[in-house]
Structure 1
Amino acid sequence: MSRRTRIVLALIAVYAIGMAALLYQLLADLDPRYRESAEEGLIETAQLMATVIEQDVEYGALPADRIGGIFRDLYARRFSAQIYNLHKTRVELRAYVTNRHGQVVYDSTGRDLGKDYSGWRDVRNTLRGEYGARTTRDVAADQQSSVMYVGAPIRWNGEIVGVVTLGKPVQSFGQFVSAARGNIISVGVVSALSALALALMLSFWLIRPLGITSDLLASLRTAWWHDDQGRRRFSPRRAWRALRAQARAAGQEVRDAIAGRNYVQDYVQQLTHELKSPISAVRGAAELMQEAGMPPEQQHKFAANIARESHRMQEVVDRMMELTALESRRMLQNQQRVELAPMLQELAAGARARAPRLQIDLRIEEELAVEGDAFLLRRAVGNLLDNAVEFSTPAGGAGADIVLTLARDGRMACITVRDRGPGVPPYAQDKVFDKFFSLARPGSSKRSTGLGLAFVKEIATLHQGGVSLRNAEGRREPGDDSARGAIARLCLPAVKS
């Protein structure tokens, strides 16, 4: 994973963690706020009820019949109230009254009449002249059966002679909590995604204000094609592939914008490192040639060295410019159908002409075609074939030195180049596609620019494919070198015949 990708993913992760922490705090604070609101309403209602009861207290005796009549009439009332999404038709409030000893003299549910409630906090604290409240489950194992109770003192001649406690099932306002929680989650997720989308759009706008629309239209134009009768037709598959390529290119551009400085620094460091050696060689040769009395043959040798190193520097610069231009392409503009078999036949013939000492076999298992840039595809396969030629040694009639194969793998058209060279050392297997990484050729200490495989990787990515390079595997028999060498594999989405 590149540094740019890690930076982008880290920023997205920080944003996601921050939004998740904010949503978690809001959701955790939601239920207590609703409980506080419901408890505040219960306090006022309990105080009002206590005031009504105190009107009928005589010599400290509590009017249980009067209280029972009030609640009987209250439960009998029917009404219709639409509270947003809740339709309420009856009263869910419950109540009980205890005397000065904490004994229940009235219970609206009729379950606990005569019981001793002096141990409950709402009764005990209220009889002491303190605030008393509690939340208790009707069914111990059922959290949804919780009821919130609030007590209020009943006074006669300034003395507390009883307690009236009002209860409200938590489930009655819990549905509001659930609805609010769902709304907060929905709004939070939509807001987070909208903010992220806005940030991406803003990044696109800052990077290339007009590029997005033109690229999108260009990608959709590739979905139209002409059949054998010349009729214009639309291919949903081509449109989907073009949009995927555009999305991937846009994401790459955002990553480049975020980490552009590091990206440029990496390029400069790599290029400087690669040019340092030939520059030193040229400088040393030039200094030696300035010495008086140098024999002509030595001058010729150093001049040839200067020319060779200059050519190497020019090659590095040219390949680097090609690779940079390729990386800057967000998508393929002019795609066409490319028949792979004829292209491979031409490349194999060219390789045989350049390396007559090697036996190069071409195996076409199936006639396949892809959509893309024919020039770039030819360059990619040509680079793989050139690598195989440079690393191969003649087998002396024991089989093909290089095997170029075209075969289908699912929906992919795969081009395989196998050589019988020394293979890839273990330390280099994860670096072969890095820029400027190169291995010494067999029989010499020469190295390439190290940009060929990086070039192939960029071409494969542009064509929504992939490339790999691994050592050949297999059991060696005496005198059999078929298990030696490396296998390069370029896979691209195949199109229907």
Structure 2
Amino acid sequence: MRLGLRFFLVYALFIGFTGYFVLNTVMKEIRPGVRQSTEETLVDTANLLAEILRNDVKNGTLAQSHWPELLKAYGTRQPGATIWGLPKNQVNHRIYVTDANGMVLLDSSGEAVGQDYSKWNDVYLTLRGEYGARSTRSAPDDPASSVMHVGAPIRDNGQIIGVVTVAKPNSSLQPYVDRTEHRLLWYGAGLVILGLLLGALLSWWLSVALRRLTAYAEAVSEGRRAELPHYRGGELKQLSTAVEHMRTQLEGKAYVEHYVHTLTHELKSPLAAIRGAAELLQGDMSREQQQRFVGNIDSESTRLQQLIERLLNLAQVEQRQGLEAQASLPLAALVDDVLKAQCARIEGAGLCIEQTIGAEVKVFGEPFLLRQALGNLLDNALDFTPAGGVLRFSAQTRHNAVQVSLFNQAAPIPDYALPRLSERFYSLPRPASGRKSTGLGLNFVEEVMKLHGGTLQIGNVHGGVQVVLHLHTVSTLPT
């Protein structure tokens, strides 16, 4: 299982359990909280009425007073209020008054006058000087029919002479409880979903960042070029920097070891030839033989110099991870430069040069590397083109790419050699001398093409050999 998915699952479980426990706890507290608030209001109302009704209860004139009519009129009122978006069109309080013996003297509903309420807790406890309250179902089998009752003592000179009770059905509170619970569920679900989305986004970002680092590490381990992922800061930036430092250290060490072994092997042959010629020159020999051995020393020295120079150039290109100085370059001008550099050799061999690249054709890349690559291609073609042969530079623009072709009249390349031509140190004997080159020229060209996001193709065509470079234009060159 991927790290990002694991992170998201752990985060989702945490958010889910936290949301569940918080919502569950809050939901359980909504109903008791509303009832507690309502009970507190009933206590205030009951105590206010106890003071208002005291004189009538004391004088025994409660039934003959205006209170029965007032309470009856109260019961028919329609407030027409809107509370938290919910309409309130009727009053819900029931008010009744009992004497010191618990007998009902006044009832706003008109149902219990004359009945004995002394056994109900709201009356019984209040008459004893305690806080009297009860919650009783009007329908024993229906929990929703519960009614809260709060009693307050009616006192005369400190003596309890009666009780006034204010009752309110819980069903009148239920719409507010339901509305609060409904909104809380929606808000809670929205926050949980938002948290999960943020967790998913964070997990996705972390996964992408790690995948980029993984892809970079895999590319480096396979010897492919790759761009180091860039991060603005934090642990990922430190990790990418550490990976790049490790790559540099390991790659540099392996690179040096490889080239030391390669250079040692390649230098053996020309050094042996130079040493052998030098030893022979120390003996007596004819002028003609001396000139021949001096020529051998000169040619092998030149070979050594070319080998070292090309190894240095190749090492510089192979160590790069990207281009440095990039520009839009006219291809025809680049080709003319490399042709001018070889004009003496071309004229000496009497070659026919055809350059058909238009002035409008441009390539995008690093000028020095492209010029070096074209120079190596031309140098290689000159080695195999017979005197009086044809060399032809051409180019075609297709969509977002430029196809540069170099044709040289020559014998076909053997099939066994075609797949190995760009292999380092692999070379075919030159027709004129029978000797091999350093085998680094085409390898250098291939590395330059990789840096530019292009490719190198070599193949036999009618009448000779054709090398094709595929380069990107300005709009499609990878950065």
Gaps of 5+ in 1: 1-13, 79-88, 94-167, 207-253, 474-480
Aligned partner of 1:470 among 436, 453, 458: 458
Give 2:22's aligned residue. Answer: 37
1:289–1:299 Cα contact (<8 Å) kept:
no
Note if 1:91 corresponds to 2:106. no
Q: Distance in 1 between matches of 2:193 and 2:416?
A: 58
Distance 1:32 1:389, change over 3 A: same
**Is the aligned partner of 1:77 residue 2:176?**
yes
- 1: CA distance, partners of 2:425 / 2:309: 16
Does the 8 A contact of 1:279 with 1:309 survive in 2?
Answer: no
Once the two structures are TM-superposed, the CA of residue 181 in structure 1 deviates from its matched residue by 0.9
What is aligned with 1:447?
436
Cα distance between partner residues in 1 of 2:364 and 2:236: 29
Q: For 1:315 and 1:171, how far apart are their aligned partners in 2?
A: 78
Select between 337-346 and 30-39 the one with higher mean Cα deviation: 337-346
> Could you tell me how far apart the structure 1 residues matched to 2:26 and 2:417 are?
73
1:422 and 2:415 aligned: no
Q: Decide whether the 8 Å contact of 1:337 with 1:372 is kept in 2.
A: yes
Q: Is the 8 A contact 1:365 1:407 kept in 2?
A: no
| TM-superposition CA deviations, 1:70-101 (whole Å, max 9, x none) | 553233338xxxxxxxxxx91347xxxxxxxx
Identity of aligned residues (%): 18
Cα distance in structure 2, aligned partners of 1:379 and 1:64:
93
- The match for 2:189 is 174
Which residue number corresponds to residue 456 of structure 1?
445
Contact 2:351 2:391 in 1 (8 A): yes
Deviations 1:322-362 (A, max 9, x none): 344555696544x6764433443454466564242544322
CA shift in 2, pair 1:452/1:492, >3 Å? farther
Amino acid at match of 1:25: V
Larger CA Rg, structure 1 vs 2: 2
1:26 aligns with 2:26: no
Query: Once structures 1 and 2 are overlaid, which stretch shifts more, 437-446 or 197-206?
Result: 197-206
Any idea what SS the aligned residue of 1:90 has? helix
| In 2, Cα distance between equivalents of 1:336 and 1:390 | 31
Distance 2:330 2:362 in 1: 4
Mapping of residues 17-416 of structure 1, within 5 Å: 17-41=2-26, 62=141, 64=143, 66-67=145-146, 72-77=171-176, 90-92=179-181, 173-188=188-203, 196-198=231-233, 255=244, 258-279=247-268, 282-283=271-272, 286=275, 296=285, 308-325=299-316, 331-333=323-325, 338-345=329-336, 347-348=338-339, 351=342, 353-355=344-346, 356=349, 358-365=351-358, 367-370=360-363, 375-393=368-386, 401-416=390-405
Q: Which moved more, 1:416-425 or 1:284-293?
A: 284-293
User: Which residue matches 1:215?
Assistant: none
Instruction: Figure out how many residues of one structure are paired with residues of the other and give that number.
Output: 331
Aligned partners of 1:426, 1:169: CA distance in 2, in Å? Answer: 78
Match of 1:106 in 2: none
Letter in 2 for 1:278: L
Give 1:135's aligned residue: none
Distance 1:486 1:203, change over 3 A: farther
Residue type of the alignment partner of 2:371: R
Question: Matched residues in 2 for 1:281 and 1:324: separation?
Answer: 21
State the shift of 1:269 in Å: 0.9
The alignment yields a C-alpha RMSD, in angstroms, of 5.1
Partner of 1:485: 465
Name stretches of at least 5 consecutive residues in structure 2 with no aligned partner: 40-132, 148-167, 210-228
Q: Deviations over 1:360-403 (max 9, x none)?
A: 32223554345666554433222111222223457x9xxx6432
